[in-house]
């Protein structure tokens, strides 16, 4: 099967907590590292709620829920990563932040052939690998939100990733976690976001031009194409800042106009209207927003409840109100 018994996760936002949860549910010992006690407490609570929902829906028994939670330690001490067989970086979709994490785990993790994975959704894996002393151990493992529900993982080796690292990462994702694995070249956006993000940006441009309201754009795709979420609601769920970061990374690599973030998206990010996590994006949400991507970048979400109120009726170039 795999020799990975001890897993580390750096970052306990929505993606990091989800990765920690699925590893614990698969029987692995998990250490999650956060930067502050407040963030650690929030991450622990996020895991508790998710496991509770799984038990309430019948996907886990109460005993399985308690056992999984008992396998997870959330800490602010990065030294706890020293004995890990696999460490997954799941922090913000920001190259500088990810480089700092990889420098840290390179220094701390004692097992020299430990798998060092990034959950980046768009940054080239090679930039992270080349910055540390063991680039052959670095690989992309891109999970999707919500991690306990969505079955896909993109496996992304860089030019420097060793064949044994690829084999072990694939075995862990597929045989231990039960995920479906697709392999992608180390190009910005990989498979899913290379297809998805231009679609989301096209919807933003359509709203920017005033072709249709945000509500009608989303209804067109849910009712006309049977998508579980419309593109603007999905962008809100992912987080407009995350969508912008992915788009910028892809545009920097490909220089294709379809990857360039539209001005409206940049204005909304500047205004702090990031989608569900702030309560307002292309749609307006309730007090808790529900299911939004948080501080860590990562996979695209595909299911959520309907937005509370759409932003609509904009003229060409007008920002939402």
To the nearest 10 degrees (0 to 180), the angle between helices 214-225 and 231-238 is: 110
The CA-based diameter of the chain, rounded to the nearest angstrom, is 58
Cβ atoms within 10 A of the Cβ of 42, count? 17
* Owner of token pair 């936002």: 13
As to burial, measured by CB atoms within 10 angstroms (0-12 exposed, 13-18 middle, 19+ buried), residue 264 is buried
Identify the CA nearest to 173 among candidates 191, 159, 152.
Answer: 152
Please, which residues bridge with residue 89 across strands? 10, 118
- Selection from 190, 177, 195, 271 nearest residue 234 by Cα: 195
Q: Which active-site residues does the annotation give?
A: 121, 142, 154, 193
Residue position matching structure tokens 């231990």: 176
How many other CB atoms are found less than 10 A from the CB of residue 134? 16
299: left (phi over 0), alpha (psi -120 to 50) or beta: beta
Nearest to 235 by CA among 294, 193, 282: 282
Q: Give the integer Cα–Cα distance in Å for 78 and 31.
A: 9
Q: What gap in Å lies between CA 177 and CA 22, rounded to an integer?
A: 7
């Amino acid at each position: 099967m795999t020799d990975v018994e001890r897993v580390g996760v750096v970052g306990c936002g929505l993606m990091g907590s989800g990765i920690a949860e699925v590893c614990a549910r698969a029987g692995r010992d998990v250490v999650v590292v956060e930067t502050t006690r407040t963030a650690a407490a929030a991450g622990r609570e996020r895991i508790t709620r998710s496991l509770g929902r799984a038990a309430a829906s019948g996907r886990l028994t109460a005993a399985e829920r308690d056992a999984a939670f008992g396998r997870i330690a959330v800490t602010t001490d990065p030294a706890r990563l020293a004995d890990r067989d696999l460490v997954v970086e799941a922090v913000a979709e920001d190259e500088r932040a990810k480089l700092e994490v990889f420098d840290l785990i390179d220094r701390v993790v004692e097992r020299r052939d430990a798998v060092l994975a990034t959950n980046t959704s768009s940054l080239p894996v090679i930039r992270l690998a080349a910055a540390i002393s063991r680039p052959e151990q670095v690989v992309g493992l891109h999970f999707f939100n919500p991690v306990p529900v969505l079955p896909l993982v993109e496996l992304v080796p860089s030019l420097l990733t060793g064949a044994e690292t690829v084999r072990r990462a694939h075995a862990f994702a597929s045989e231990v976690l039960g995920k479906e694995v697709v392999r992608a070249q180390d190009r910005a956006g990989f498979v899913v976001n290379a297809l998805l993000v231009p679609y989301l940006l096209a919807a933003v441009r359509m709203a920017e031009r005033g072709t249709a309201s945000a509500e009608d754009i989303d209804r067109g795709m849910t009712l006309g194409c049977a998508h579980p979420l419309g593109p603007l609601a999905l962008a809100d769920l992912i987080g407009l800042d995350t969508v912008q970061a992915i788009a910028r990374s892809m545009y920097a690599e490909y220089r294709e106009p379809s990857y360039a973030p539209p001005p409206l998206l940049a204005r909304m990010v500047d205004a702090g209207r990031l989608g569900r996590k702030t309560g307002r994006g292309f749609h307006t949400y309730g007090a808790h927003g529900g299911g939004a991507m948080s501080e860590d970048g990562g996979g695209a979400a595909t299911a959520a409840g309907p937005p509370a109120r759409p932003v609509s009726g904009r003229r060409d170039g007008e920002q939402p109100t």
